[in-house]
């Protein structure tokens, strides 16, 4: 027997439906995350990476299925603003005391926008602005454990490691303790911390990514808060601590926006983010939400920050410096640390890809291990800004190259239908124009490392010109042009065959067949770097990239299922060799 439909309760039932689907999503999010410990203990690295990808797609799948259920329930009322106002108020009331209220708000926003295709932010019917600080929600028990000691550092580290109940034997446990004490004493001296006047607060949850589990904490002294991170590796002979990281540079790199998201079991996301922000104060909260897997809420936090910045500033969006791309129009707000990238309606030759293919490339990067070398991005659809915030040059560029993405609003605003927002960096070619020879050597070494590390995770960047790489605040080199990106194992790396006669040797055109996936590494020196001095540095540091052997060897390793080690901290910090580990 069909239940009667009470029309007055439809808004409440709809709010309850969305809330129920949010609960289901959050349960699945936690369930996938909790597998990480099991994967780590079993050394199931492929499974751990698959879980990371599954968790990313989980949100969009949940929002998609929820949207359809909402449309089915509402029927003709699906576009009625009065009905949605009541849905919004009912939902707001029901989540008022939730400890994951901020994540629940973002889930609602996503469902609302999916039921209203083409709509931008609606301040009356969405959680556009934060409804609280969210810091009022705290765990009943602290999310960290506190360790105090004045004299016995060996006891301190033994306690920390024994508290992490990993169901795997340790490799050379006492040697781990000995090395950690030595590294810790050196760090205390470097940071000028009195060993008698500090406490350690260590998060109870471990942070998992790829083949590593991280113990994350903070050292609180009278003078300051210092990060405290220990990466754990698990090899066939057991687990061990591979480093003790207390420098901002190392810890910031581990939590970089260019890396894949951690699998870490979190009950109250805002509480975890506040802890991380205490050791990484220069990182925006949006990036920290991203880092623990709540990338959609990270996008919400970023958007709220953008709105605040726009209201407090007066500069206008302008064309970003650097060589103009053939696929993307790139803009920047000078006072804001991000760039805005819009796919052009048509691409200049020799580019022959389509807009759909470019979007697919961004999707590959979103799901893939970015290994610290591919910039993360937020996708925005129907982003609406005041028309006066765009310079005349930007409007002219958009009208000429991406007019289909523009929408002029009656209230003096302009909507951009599809764009990516990324962290602002200095293009590598521009950085090198004013770099000293020492600075040039540092970033050129980084450039080569970036190419090699992307290769290690089965990514071939395609267009490896300097202009497609950026230099970050920490002088890391990161790739950001994805229209020609592809999987390394799909390419064929060849040597140029010897010419058979003088005619072939003098020919301006290739005298040999070139397939669509053929790559000739010995040609790289001709077009990657124009400056002979810079080219010589690159050849000295990374000359192996000019030979097919490097590329073919990496392909073989990837095809046999190897997950190549790429560490997000400096080699000089690693302890594996000092532990006497079986190599």
- Among the listed residues 471, 463, 409, 403, the one whose alpha carbon sits nearest the alpha carbon of residue 434: 471
E strands, 248-364, in order: 318-319, 328-332, 338-343
**For residue 452, what are the domain limits?**
427-571
- Residues 128 and 299: their CA atoms lie apart, in Å, by 12
Same domain, 270 and 194: yes
Instruction: Report the pLDDT averaged over residues 44-68.
Output: 97
Same domain, 326 and 284: no
Q: For residue range 329-340, list pLDDT tens digits in order.
A: 999 999 999 999
Which band of pLDDT confidence, cut at 50, 70 and 90, is reported for residue 198?
A: confident
Same domain, 453 and 545: yes
Domain boundary among 242, 275, 308: 308
- Among the listed residues 415, 417, 407, 422, the one whose alpha carbon sits nearest the alpha carbon of residue 386: 415
Peptide bond into 350 cis (omega under 30): yes
Same domain, 552 and 442: yes
- Phi, psi (deg, nearest 5) at residue 405: -85, -10
Same domain, 435 and 535: yes
Q: Per the structure, how many domains does the chain have?
A: 4
436 occurs within a structural domain: yes
- Residues 162 and 147: their CA atoms lie apart, in Å, by 12
Rg of the Cα atoms in the chain: 26
Tell me the pLDDT of the chain averaged across its residues. 92
- Backbone conformation region of residue 19, classed left if phi is above 0, alpha if psi is from -120 to 50, else beta: alpha
Same domain, 383 and 433: no
Q: Are 261 and 295 in contact (CB under 8 A)?
A: yes
Which band of pLDDT confidence, cut at 50, 70 and 90, is reported for residue 3?
A: low
Looking at residue 583, its pLDDT comes to 41
Q: Coil, strand or helix: which one is 241?
A: strand
- Among the listed residues 36, 77, 433, the one whose alpha carbon sits nearest the alpha carbon of residue 263: 36
Q: Coil, strand or helix: which one is 374?
A: strand
Q: For residue range 253-301, list pLDDT tens digits in order.
A: 999 999 999 999 999 999 999 999 999 999 999 999 999 999 999 999 9
236 occurs within a structural domain: yes
Same domain, 379 and 477: no
Share of the chain above pLDDT 90, in %: 80
- Residues 282 and 276: their CA atoms lie apart, in Å, by 11
Looking at residue 504, its pLDDT comes to 63
Same domain, 171 and 151: yes
Instruction: Report the pLDDT averaged over residues 20-25.
Output: 98
Is 376 labeled as catalytic in the residue annotation?
Answer: yes
- Residues 27 and 19: their CA atoms lie apart, in Å, by 12
552 occurs within a structural domain: yes
Q: List the end-to-end C-alpha distance of the chain, in Å, as a whole number.
A: 69
Between 351 and 304, residue with greater pLDDT: 304
Looking at residue 157, its pLDDT comes to 95
- Residues 70 and 92: their CA atoms lie apart, in Å, by 17
- Residues 64 and 553: their CA atoms lie apart, in Å, by 42
Same domain, 389 and 414: yes
Query: Taking the model in full, what pTM does it have?
Result: 0.93
Q: For residue range 453-491, list pLDDT tens digits in order.
A: 999 999 999 989 999 999 999 899 999 999 999 999 999
Same domain, 488 and 451: yes
Domain boundary among 284, 308, 332: 308
Between 348 and 326, residue with greater pLDDT: 326
The answer, yes or no, to whether residue 2 has pLDDT greater than 60, is no
139 occurs within a structural domain: no
Residue of 51, 369, 376, 481 marked active site: 376
38 occurs within a structural domain: yes
Looking at residue 515, its pLDDT comes to 86
221 occurs within a structural domain: yes
Same domain, 148 and 293: yes
Instruction: Report the pLDDT averaged over residues 519-536.
Output: 90
154 occurs within a structural domain: yes
Instruction: Report the pLDDT averaged over residues 509-518.
Output: 81
Counts for the chain of helices (H) and strands (E), in that order: 18, 21
Q: Are 232 and 213 in contact (CB under 8 A)?
A: yes
Q: Are 224 and 15 in contact (CB under 8 A)?
A: no
Same domain, 101 and 176: no
470 occurs within a structural domain: yes
- Among the listed residues 415, 39, 7, 397, the one whose alpha carbon sits nearest the alpha carbon of residue 213: 39
Looking at residue 543, its pLDDT comes to 95
Domain boundary among 254, 289, 308: 308
Looking at residue 582, its pLDDT comes to 45
């Amino acid at each position: 027997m069909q239940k009667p439909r009470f029309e007055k309760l439809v808004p409440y039932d709809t709010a309850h439906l969305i809330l129920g689907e949010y609960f289901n999503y959050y349960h699945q999010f936690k369930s996938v995350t909790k597998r990480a410990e099991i994967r780590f203990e079993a050394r199931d690295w492929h499974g751990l990476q698959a879980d990371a990808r599954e968790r990313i797609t989980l949100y969009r799948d949940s929002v998609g299925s929820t949207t359809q259920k909402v449309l089915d329930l509402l029927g003709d009322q699906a576009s009625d603003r009065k009905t949605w106002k009541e849905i919004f108020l009912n939902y707001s009331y029901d989540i008022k005391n939730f400890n994951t209220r901020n994540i629940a708000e973002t889930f609602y926003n996503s469902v609302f926008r999916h039921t209203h295709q083409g709509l931008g932010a609606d301040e009356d019917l969405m959680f556009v602005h934060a409804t609280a600080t969210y810091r009022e929600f705290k765990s009943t028990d602290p999310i960290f454990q506190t360790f105090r000691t004045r004299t016995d550092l060996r006891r301190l580290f033994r306690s920390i490691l024994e508290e992490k109940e990993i169901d795997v034997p340790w490799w050379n446990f006492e040697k781990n303790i000995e090395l950690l004490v030595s590294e810790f004493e050196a760090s205390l001296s470097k940071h000028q911390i009195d060993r008698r006047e500090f406490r350690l607060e260590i998060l109870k949850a471990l942070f998992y990514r790829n083949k590593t589990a991280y113990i994350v904490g903070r050292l609180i002294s009278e003078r300051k808060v210092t990060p405290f991170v220990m990466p754990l590796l698990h090899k066939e002979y057991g687990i061990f601590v591979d480093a003790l990281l207390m420098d901002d540079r190392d810890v910031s790199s581990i939590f970089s926006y260019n890396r894949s998201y951690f699998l870490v079991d979190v009950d109250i996301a805002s509480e975890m983010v506040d802890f991380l922000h205490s050791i990484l104060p220069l990182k925006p909260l949006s990036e920290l939400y991203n880092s623990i897997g709540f990338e959609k809420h990270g996008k919400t936090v970023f958007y709220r920050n953008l709105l605040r910045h726009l209201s407090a500033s007066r500069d206008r969006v302008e064309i970003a410096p650097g060589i103009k791309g053939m696929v993307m129009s790139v803009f920047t707000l000078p006072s804001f640390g991000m760039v805005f990238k819009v796919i052009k309606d048509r691409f200049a030759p020799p580019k022959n890809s389509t807009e759909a293919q470019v979007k697919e490339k961004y999707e590959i990067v979103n799901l893939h291990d970015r290994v610290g070398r591919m910039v993360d991005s937020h996708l925005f659809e129907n982003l609406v800004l005041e028309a006066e915030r765009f310079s005349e040059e930007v409007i002219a560029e958009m009208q000429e190259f991406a007019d289909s993405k523009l929408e002029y609003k009656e209230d003096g605003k302009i909507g951009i239908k599809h764009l990516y927002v990324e962290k602002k960096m200095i293009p590598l070619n521009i950085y090198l124009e004013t770099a000293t020879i020492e600075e040039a050597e540092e970033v050129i070494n980084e450039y080569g490392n970036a190419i090699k590390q992307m290769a290690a995770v089965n990514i071939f960047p395609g267009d490896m010109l300097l202009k497609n790489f950026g230099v970050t605040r920490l002088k890391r080199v990161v790739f950001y042009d994805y229209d020609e990106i592809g999987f390394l194992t799909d390419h064929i790396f060849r040597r140029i065959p010897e010419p058979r006669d003088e005619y072939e040797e003098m020919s301006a055109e290739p005298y040999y067949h070139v397939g669509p996936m053929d790559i000739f590494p010995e040609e790289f020196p001709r077009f990657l770097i124009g400056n002979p001095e810079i080219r010589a540095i690159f050849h000295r540091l990374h000359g192996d990239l000019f030979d097919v052997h490097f590329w073919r060897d990496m392909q073989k390793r990837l095809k046999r299922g190897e997950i190549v080690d790429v560490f997000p901290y400096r080699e000089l910090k690693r302890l594996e060799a000092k532990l006497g580990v079986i190599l």
